Amino acid sequence: MTLLLVTADYRILVDASGTPVWLPLEAVEEERYLEALMYVPLKDAPDDFDPHVPTEPSFPYVAVRATIDEQHYWAAQAGVRWETIRSHLNAPHLAEPVAKLRFREEFRYHPTTGKPLRHGGGSAHSNGARPLFPRIDPAVIGLVELAGQDKILLGKNRLRPDYFSLIAGYVGPGETLEDAWAREVLEETGRRIEEIQYWGSQPWPSSGSLMIAFRAVTSDEEASQATDGELAEILWATREDLASLPLAAPGSIARKLIDQWWKER
């Protein structure tokens, strides 16, 4: 059984090669890793509950929230560093324990009865109430190519102005995935897209999202309508331009799409 430390802003420990670091359970206090194993706040556990018998013994990976002291301690150690989880979402066994960490932190009590929840088996239970499951919010993202030209559409979000990425947003009630992405592209960039094709997906446990990716083309080199102002900068980038632009983190689905397009030359 191994343990992953996760900071409040979703950074994890990686070694010099950039590989996530899994620690022995004994690296944290017993109560913290028992709660992680059981997905049960010990103070809310029933009297007959045995915290030393894991509810999910077949899954040998757990995540706990790193304390400030732990962050300082590991930051001072040689050969390891804290790094955003965005770059490691495809690392083996990482997404599930982080998603469960978020679930048990955010759902301590049943929303209809107010009773304490018992977490286990990927769900949370309270006597006499329907079980709860981790919330997964569908989000859409995709790569837009300019028809007949060797360019892709990139944007720099006002809340994350340090890098360029692809156009993304959440799916609204009653929308299909394709309609949601077409709406986001139109709202954020003023471009209308067509020939939408599914590309792939990636879990984002830090936000409880599932990123669903597409590719499409547009004939609108210039915006056809006013934008919603969410993006601080919008540009068309050639393959040559990409080398000099700050881009989404390696490992993110946005970066994978960009890298794949770059290799298609």
Same domain membership, residue 90 and residue 159: no
pLDDT at 35: 66
Same domain membership, residue 200 and residue 96: no
pLDDT at 54: 46
Same domain membership, residue 213 and residue 168: yes
User: Domain boundary residue among 125, 152, 169?
Assistant: 125
Residue 259 domain boundaries: 137-263
The alpha carbon of 38 is separated from its chain's Cα centroid by a whole number of angstroms, namely 23
The answer to whether 87 and 250 are in contact (CB under 8 A) is: yes
**Domain membership flag for residue 130:** no
Average pLDDT over residues 9-19: 93
Same domain membership, residue 232 and residue 154: yes
- Give the separation between CA 139 and CA 213, rounded to whole angstroms: 9
Indicate if the pLDDT at residue 48 is higher than 60.
no
pLDDT tens track for 139-152? 999 999 999 999 99
User: Domain boundary residue among 66, 99, 125?
Assistant: 125
Same domain membership, residue 214 and residue 100: no
Separation in Å, CA 85 to CA 14, 52, 127, 207: 10, 29, 35, 11
- Give the separation between CA 118 and CA 95, rounded to whole angstroms: 21
Number of structural domains the chain divides into: 2
- Give the separation between CA 236 and CA 86, rounded to whole angstroms: 24
pLDDT at 134: 86
Handedness of CA 204, 207, 209, 215 (dihedral sign): negative
Same domain membership, residue 141 and residue 259: yes
- Considering only residues 260 and 97, tell me which one the structure prediction assigns the higher pLDDT: 260
**Domain membership flag for residue 131:** no
Average pLDDT over residues 176-189: 98
**Domain membership flag for residue 132:** no
Same domain membership, residue 258 and residue 197: yes
- Give the separation between CA 32 and CA 176, rounded to whole angstroms: 41
User: Domain boundary residue among 125, 156, 180?
Assistant: 125
Same domain membership, residue 245 and residue 191: yes
The answer to whether 201 and 219 are in contact (CB under 8 A) is: no
Indicate if the pLDDT at residue 46 is higher than 80.
no
CATH number at residue 207: 3.90.79.10
pLDDT at 190: 97
